[in-house]
Amino acid sequence: MDTDSSDLFGPLLDKPVAAVVPVLVPLPVPGPYSYAVPEGLTVVPGSVVQVPVGPRQMIGVVWDGADDSTLDPKKLRPITLAFDCPPLSKEMRDFVDWVSAYTLSPPGFVARMAIRAPAALDPEPMVEGLRFVGGEPARLTPARTRVLDLAKEQEAPWTRSGLAHAAGVSLSVVDGLIKQGVFDTIFLPPPPVVARPDPDYTAPRIEGPQKGAAEEIVASVSAGGFAASLIDGVTGSGKTEVYFEAIAQALRQDKQVLILLPEIALTSSFLDRFEQRFGAKPAEWHSDLSPRIREKVWRGVVTGEVRVVAGARSALFLPFEDLGLIVIDEEHDPAYKQEDRVFYNARDMAVVRARIGDFPIVLVSATPSVESQVNGLSGRYTTVHLPTRFGDAALPDLHLVDMRRHPPERGGFLSPILLRGMKKALERGEQSLLFLNRRGYAPLTLCRVCGHRFQCPQCSSWLVEHRFRNQIQCHQCGYHEHTPEACPECGTFDHLVACGPGVERIAEEVEKHFPEARTIVMSSDLLGGVKRLRMELDAIAKGDVDIVIGTQLVAKGHNFPLMTLVGIVDADLGLSNGDPRAAERTFQLLSQVTGRAGRTGLKSHGLIQTFQPQHPVMQAIVSGDAGAFYEREIAEREKAILPPFGRLASLIVSADTRADAETHARGLRAAAPRVTGISVLGPAEAPLALVRGRHRFRLLVHGRRNSDMQAFLKAMMSAGPKVRGTVQIQLDIDPQSFL
DNA sequence: AGCACGCCGACT
DNA sequence: GTCGGCGTGCTC
C-alpha cells in the first residue's frame, strides 16, 4: 500500500514507508479497525499483533481485504508489535468470518477464540541441557562417579535437575562437573507436550458389523475432501473403535485430528483407551487446563507438533497447522452449545470448518440429534448404523411402569415394582441406579395454612429446598437462604410442606425401605468438587455402594460393572417445560441412563416410571426402535418452525420474571408485526439455558434458513426503539442451510 | 468488552 | 451538601 511519503521522497525511497492494514480487535464492533504498520515491521493477513485501543493494548489479528477506513491515514495509530507465531491460515480466517456472520457475533470475538492462549504467542524459550563432553574431573568423589556413570550410560542430553535427581546427588555436584568442563550446556527445543500417536501401535479391536462400518469411514478419510458421516450406534456397540480407525487413517496421511467431546466426557478412561490403541495420549483441551499446559498445547497445535487433540467445544477454534479430520462424539449433546458472548453450536460449526478446510468429519451418537437425523435421511450425511452391542454385553431389558396402575405408597415416589427390583438386586449383591433429574429435596415448598409459595425474590421461579444444606435455593440465578421455620406470609410454624421429589427426598425414601443398604446421592451439589466426584465414581465401580441416586451427572461416561438395575423415577419430567426439544432431550437422556446398565454381560433391567406409557418417547425407549419417534419429531419440528408465518422465524422470549418477558415481547411485537410466533415464557417454564444469568431478556430464535433469520433479526433490531438493550440471541437453526 | 462521563436517590 | 447507582457512548 502506498502513502504520501513515498511520493515526497520519490527515488530516495522506492519501498513503501508505511502501510495501513485492517486488524480485528476483540471489541463488539462490526468489522476490523485500521492501523498503520510501522517501518521495519512486516505483517501479512493472519498475523497476530498487539495494537493500542484507547488507553489499552489488545491482541488482534491482521485481517483480509483492502483497508476501507475513511479515517485520515496519517492519524492512524501504529501496530505495537507482531508476535512470533505462524499467522492464522486463510481457511481459519474464512472460518472466523463465516461463524461471525452466521452467529451474528462480532468477528473480533470469534477471532479471539482462536488465540486464547496469550502467553503462547511467542515461542517457548529453549531449555538448557547438558552434553557430556568426556574426560574426568580433577577429583573423583562417589557422587561424581554416579553422575558420570549415568552420563556414559545414556548419551541423550540431560537437564541439570534431571541428571542430579537420577543420580541421587545434589545440584551442586552437577554444577561442579560443569565447572570442570566435563559437561557443557547446550540449548534444546522444549520437550513436546504429548508423544506422537502411532496409527499402527496396536491392531484395531473390531469385528462383525464394526468392520464394515470402519471400512466405510476409513475410505472417506482416504479419499480426502469434505464428507460428513454419522455413526449411529447403541451404547456399547463399539463406536469409539470404529472412529479410532478413521483417526488412524488420518494419522497415516500425516494429518492432524480433532476429537470433540462434551466437557464431562473428557475422562481419563477415554484418554486411556486412546493410549491403548495409539501408544500415546491425545493432547487435551478444555476450560480447566493449567495456563502452562494450555500454552504448550496451543503452540503444539499451531506448529503441527501435536497430532491429535481431544477437547471440549472451544477446541474447535484452535488454529491447527494441517487439520484433516474432526470427530464429534456424543454429537447430540447440548454441551456443544455455547451460550455466552458468541452463541454457537460446536457440532454445526465443526461441519462448516470441515467444509471450508475440505476434509471429512464424523459425527457419533447413540441417539443422534433430530438435525443430524434429518441430514442423514436426506443424504447430506452418510449414515453408518451399529445396531448391536459389542462382544457379550447385552442391552438391558426395559419395562415401563404405569404409575396410574402401580402407585407408590402415600408420600412416596417409588412404585412397588421398582422397590421389588431393587430388593432383588440387593439380594444378589448387585447395584441399582435411581435416576431423577432434579437436585435438592423438593422443587416447591408451600404453607399449608395460607398457601404461600416460596418464590425467588430476584427472578420469580420456585425456591428448591436442599435439606442436606438446610437451604432453599433458586436454580435459575443462584439465590439462596436458610430454610425458614415459619411461613413469612402468615407466620405459622411447622406447616410448611415440601411438594414433589428431588434426589435427596428419594434418598430418604430408599433409606426407609433399605436401611442396611449403602446409598449415595450423586448430583452437582456433591461437596468436594471434581476430585470427590471421581472418588465416588470409582467407589461405585468397585462395588462399595449398593444404591446410587443421581441426576444427569451419572448419565455419562462411566461404566459400572455391577449395575444391573436402572430405575427412572420420573420419566415424564422435562417433557413439558416449553422447550421445543423436550421430547428429543428426554429420549436422549433416558437412553443414556438406561445404557449404564448391563455393560459386562450380567443380565440387567430398566424400570421406567411414567404416567404416559403411550408417549412416543416411552415407546421408543422400550422398543429400542427409534425410527418412528424420529419421524414424528421431524414432522413436529417442521410444523413448529414453518407455518403459520411462512419463512419468518419464531421467537421465544424469556426474562428474569414473566412480567419482564411480557413487556419485552410487547416491544418485539410492535417492532416486528409480521412475526406471529412469539411465545412468552417465565423463568420457571423456559429452558434453563434461556434464562440463566443476569440479563434483561433473551430470545430463542427458531428458523428454517439462516439468511432469512439474519434479515429478520436485523430488521427487528433496527425497527423499534423498544427493542434496544442487551438482546441475547440464540440461533436455533436447521443446519441444512450451510451445506 | 472495559472504561469514562453524566445525571438522580439515600446518606456520613 | 456528597457518594454511588447504572444508562450512554467510544475505542482505528
On whether the CB atoms of residues A566 and A594 are closer than 8 A, the answer is yes
pLDDT of residue A527: 76
Query: Is the bond leading into A644 cis (omega within 30 degrees of zero)?
Result: yes
Q: How far is CA A29 from CA A96, A106, A277, A699, in A?
A: 15, 6, 46, 21
**Distance separating alpha carbons of residues A589 and A497, to the nearest angstrom:** 30
**Same domain as A466, residue A341:** no
User: Which nucleotide is closest, CA of A23 to its C1'?
Assistant: C12
The answer as to whether A199 is a domain residue is no
Q: Write out the residue range of the structural domain in which residue A710 sits.
A: 646-733
User: Of A319-323, A333-337, A537-541, which one has max mean pLDDT?
Assistant: A319-323
Q: How far is the CA of A655 from the C1' of B9 (A)?
A: 26
Domain match, A557 and A413 both = yes
Q: Is the dihedral of CA A114, A116, A121, A125 positive or negative?
A: negative
8 A C-beta contact, residue A321 and residue A270 = no
State which residue has its Cα closest to the C1' atom of C11: A54
Residue A649 pLDDT class (50, 70, 90 cuts): low
pLDDT at A644 over 60: no
Q: Is there a single domain that holds both residue A591 and residue A536? A: yes
DSSP A455: B
Q: Which residues pair with residue A498 across a beta bridge?
A: A445
Nearest in space to A648 (alpha carbons), one of A693, A698, A711: A711
Residue A12 has pLDDT above 60, yes or no: no
Residue A295 sits in the same domain as residue A357: yes
Query: What's the CA–C1' distance between A682 and C5, in Å?
Result: 27
For residue A59, give the C-alpha cell. Answer: 491482541
- Residue with C-alpha cell 462382544? A391
Q: Are residues A522 and A630 in the same domain?
A: yes
Q: For residue A36, what are the β-bridge partners? A: A20, A78
**A228 part of a folded domain:** yes
Portion of chain A with pLDDT greater than 70, in percent: 83
Interatomic CA–C1' length for residue A667 and nucleotide B7, angstroms: 26
Q: What is the pLDDT of residue A581?
A: 82
Worst-scoring range by mean pLDDT, A145-149, A384-388, A412-416, A684-688? A684-688
State the CATH number of the domain containing residue A721: 3.30.70.600
- Strand C positions within 7 A of protein Cβ atoms: 8, 10-12
- Asked if residue A254 has pLDDT above 70, the reply is yes
Give A465 or A136, the one with higher predicted confidence.
Answer: A465
A423 and A571, same domain (yes or no): yes
Task: Give the model confidence (pLDDT) of A273-295 as tens digits.
Answer: 999 999 999 999 998 888 889 99
Q: Please indicate, yes or no, whether residues A413 and A265 belong to a single structural domain of this protein.
A: no
Residue A107 pLDDT level (bands cut at 50, 70, 90): very high
| A27 nearest nucleotide via C1' and CA | B1
Q: What is the pLDDT of residues A50-81, one digit of tens each?
A: 999 998 999 999 999 877 677 788 889 999 99
Report the distance separating Cα A38 and Cα A50, nearest Å: 12
Does A85 carry a binding-site annotation?
A: no
The predicted model gives A671-699 an average pLDDT of: 60
Residues at the strand C interface (CB under 7 A)?
A: A 27-29, 33-35, 52-54, 69, 71, 76-77, 724-725
- Considering the entire predicted model, what is its pTM? 0.89
Residue A454 CA and nucleotide B1 C1' are separated, in Å, by 37
Taking residues A307-329, report their average pLDDT. 97
Domain identity same for A564 and A432: yes
Same domain, A445 and A434: no
- Helix A209-223 to helix A239-252 angle (10° resolution) is 30
Instruction: With respect to residue A158, please indicate whether it lies within any of the assigned structural domains.
Output: yes
Measured from Cα to the C1' atom, the residue closest to C10 is A54
What mean pLDDT comes out for the span A550-579?
A: 87
C1' (B3) to CA (A340) span, angstroms: 21
Q: What is the count of structural domains for chain A?
A: 6
Q: Is A499 labeled as ligand-binding? A: no
Q: Is A459 annotated as a binding residue?
A: yes
Instruction: Tell whether the model's pLDDT for residue A640 goes beyond 80.
Output: no
Q: Is A738 among the domain residues? A: no
- For residue A450, say whether it is annotated as part of any ligand binding site: yes
Q: Are A60 and A287 in contact (CB under 8 A)?
A: no
Q: What is the residue-averaged pLDDT of chain A? A: 85
Domain-located, residue A202: no
Q: How far is C-alpha A36 from the geometric centre of its chain's CA atoms?
A: 39
Of the pLDDT bands very low, low, confident and very high (cuts 50, 70, 90), residue A33 is very high
Give SS3 for A107.
helix
- Percent of chain A surpassing pLDDT 90: 50
**pLDDT for the residue A3:** 37
Regarding whether A148 and A217 lie in a shared domain, the answer is: no
**Hunting for cell 422470549 — which residue is that?**
A653
Per the annotation, does A447 bind a ligand? yes
Distance A30 CA to C11 C1' (A): 13
Flag whether pLDDT at A542 surpasses 60.
yes
Rounded Cα distance, A706 and A685, in Å: 27
A204 within some domain? no
The segment with the largest mean pLDDT, out of A123-132, A230-239, A656-665, is: A230-239
Calculate the dihedral angle through the C-alpha atoms of A185, A189, A191, A197, rounding to the nearest 10 degrees: -140
- The candidate with the shortest Cα–Cα distance to A259, out of A312, A338, A202, A219, is A312
Residues A347 and A400 in one domain: no
Q: Does any domain span residue A368?
A: yes
Q: Is residue A50, in this structure, part of any structural domain at all?
A: yes
CATH of the domain at A295: 3.40.50.300
CA of A458 to C1' of B12 (A): 29
From the number of C-beta atoms within 10 Å of its C-beta (0-12, 13-18, 19+), residue A117 rates as buried
Could you tell me the distance in Å between the CA of residue A338 and the C1' of nucleotide C7?
28
Does residue A250 sit in the same domain as residue A352?
yes
User: Of A115, A146, A175, which residue constitutes the final position of a domain?
Assistant: A115
Give A195-224 pLDDT, tens digit per residue: 999 999 999 888 888 899 999 999 999 999
A93: left (phi > 0), else alpha (psi -120 to 50), else beta? alpha
